[in-house]
Amino acid sequence: MAQRAAIVTGASSGIGLAIAEVLGAEGYALTVAARRPEKLDEAAQGLRDKGFAVEHVAGALGDEAGVKAVVAAHRERYGRLDVLVNNAGVGIGAPVAEIDTKKLDMQLDLNLRSIILFYRETVDLLRTAAKEDGTALVVNTASIAGKRGQPWLSVYSATKGAVINFTEAMHKELSSEGIKSTALCPGFVDTPMTTFVKGQVPAEEMITPADIGEAVRLLLRLSPACIIPEIQFIRPGE
């Protein structure tokens, strides 16, 4: 049985993989999840090659069944949960008159609904960890777009704003039990998700996934008496 364990969604690349690497290095056994099996297989093997204990589950994380499958696999493998990282997300741009209903629902389901379901399905494990160790942690990846709505990314901005608000609600609901909740609000991060803007913002001028991972390392090392409810990551001059 692992002494400490974590779930990371959207962990096949980018921010999620960087956070998983930090958690593994900090001694957490991992369950990593993402939609595409081939990318997740490769990422999970890379984590195992670094000596980390890794369970991986591919599936549609916007679906309730997909969320339950990840949590069930984690329970069976490790039996405890100290850190939950809700990182899976998608952004699809369109002017308001051209918003496609299927793509609207996809963003609502993955960016917001999934986070709510993961809290619901894991809160018993988080409560147990908090009782044992004085603290448990949930990290929710939002976006700077959730602080300042963006044109053509209106649905994405709205979902990320909701993530920030839901994180605050969970802080107020659960922090007295030792369960901390933090929303991460990055600007452009050098990941496949920001390919669309790299003609205007060069990759080398973007925030790195490792920057986000190091922020999570900070959260892991805080005392039970200290909570950081939100972290913004911005580039120079913004």
Q: So which residues are the catalytic ones?
A: 156
**Cα(186)–Cα(136) distance, rounded to whole angstroms?**
23
- The residue with tokens 């942690």 is 137
**Cα(78)–Cα(83) distance, rounded to whole angstroms?**
12
Name the nearest CA neighbour of 73 among 91, 88, 87, 61: 61
Q: How many residues does the chain have?
A: 238
CB 193 within 8 A of CB 150: no
Q: What helix, strand, coil percent values describe the chain, rounded to 5?
A: 55, 15, 30
**Cα(197)–Cα(52) distance, rounded to whole angstroms?**
34
Residue 221, C-beta contacts closer than 8 angstroms, at least 6 positions apart: none
**Cα(186)–Cα(177) distance, rounded to whole angstroms?**
28
